[in-house]
Amino acid sequence: MTDGQMLLAVFVLLYLIECLRLVPSTAWMASGTGKSGWRSLRPWMRLQIGNGSPLLLSPLPPMQAHALALPWVFVPDHDSLRVRLTDSMSIHIAWDKLTPRAEETTLHLDVTTRVRLPSKNLAELWQQRLTEWRGLTPDQRHSAFLKHARSTLDTKAAAKAATEAAQRTRSLRVLATIHCLWCFGVISVLYHRFGDSVAVLAAAGVLLLLQFIQSWLFLRSTRKSHIAIPYRRWRALGIAFLPQLAMRAFDVVNLTTDAEPPHPLAWRGLLDEKRWLEHARQFWRESRYVPGWPLNESLPLEAEALQKFFRHEGIAEDDYDPPAAAKLPTCPRCGAEFQSGITACSDCGGVELRQPAA
């Protein structure tokens, strides 16, 4: 490997590191540019760092804007609070053991449990909200949760926030695309052909010029921003001199927000409808089919909130909870089929199977 190739490899590595974000393990990210056709991304939940998980933002040009969503992390049960740590893991904390305390973006819930939230502001908001919930009666908690659920399932607001974020970073992203192609395409081709030469030096000069423009665009687009970007001027200096910061400057603008993130299902219209429906079914199955479901008279709280939302959106029950067509007992939660005679799915913590119609 020549020095030039080595340098390029280092740049690629630095760039990919810049595309990584530490997010809550349950978070969802949408990437896209327009009013629809966004794609959803998930973090690597197996990797737990600082109470969160790393997520790789779309790294390839043309650069995409990003928006974050968060499923309901805190759900009140009768005598405890259920905390969703990952997609498949939740824990219960008894109300009298709950001592919420925000520390930067981390919310401490009791002596051992900590959850990462997308922003410091949100950690403080949840500290306040959970302290409030702790003092309420079960019925009041029930309505408080439904109110929270309703506000996070506003499809119009979620689409508006995402498209506005994309709009706000449009010029930053266009320049980042040119910059990325120049850095990893044009310069490497020139270097491959001419080696250490004036042409490569001139191309590097153009790269620096692009970074200066990017830095100015960044300062301009964040000048009137209602969210204070931490170390804004230092960051602008970094953007001017470090290619990887220049290429991802728009992420800082898009992802620095104090607003409460929507539920991922609020992205209806933003995501492809078929994809969205798959997500809707999964959220429904996981909230509806809990151990004891055939006997429970009322829906679990999360399922109740989702059912209200689906009705409001005009989605038929058969669409979000398609009837089983199998001839064998089937787990309504994970869809696995079992031999006749088996009544519960052990993978799903003992969820009762749906028996085929005789």
Binding site for Zn ion (CB under 5 A): 331, 333-334, 345, 347-348
Nearest approach, Cβ of residue 346 and Zn ion (Å): 8
CB-based burial, 185-223: b 16+ in 10 Å, e otherwise: eebbebbeeeeeeeebeebbeebeebbebbbebbbebbe
CB of 87 to Zn ion, least distance (A): 14
Whole-angstrom Cα distance, residue 310 to residue 305?
Answer: 9
Q: Transcribe 139-179 into DSSP letters.
A: HHHHHHHHHHHHHHT-HHHHHHHHHHHHHHTHHHHHHHHHH
Q: What is the dihedral sign for C-alpha 308, 278, 76, 155?
A: negative
Contact 292, 303 (CB under 8 A): no
Least distance from Zn ion to the Cβ atom of residue 331, Å: 3
User: Given the complex with Zn ion, which of 104 and 347 has the nearer CB atom?
Assistant: 347
**Residue for token digits 């299902």?**
265
Cα–Cα distance for residue pair 84/75, rounded to 1 Å: 8
Nearer to Zn ion, 149 or 331 (CB): 331
Of 251 and 286, nearer to Zn ion (C-beta) is: 286
Q: How far is the CB of 305 from Zn ion (least distance, A)?
A: 22
Decide whether 12 or 334 has the Cβ nearer to Zn ion: 334
φ/ψ bin of 91: left (φ > 0), alpha (ψ from -120 to 50), beta (otherwise): beta
Residue number, 203 or 331, with CB nearest to Zn ion: 331
Instruction: Give the nearer residue to Zn ion in terms of CB position, either 112 or 339.
Output: 339
CB of 274 to Zn ion, least distance (A): 23
* CA 299/CA 123 separation, integer angstroms: 29
Listed residue (191, 211, 207) closest to 199, CA to CA:
191
Q: Which is nearer to Zn ion, 103 or 347 (CB)?
A: 347
CB of 298 to Zn ion, least distance (A): 22
CB 306 to Zn ion: min, Å:
19
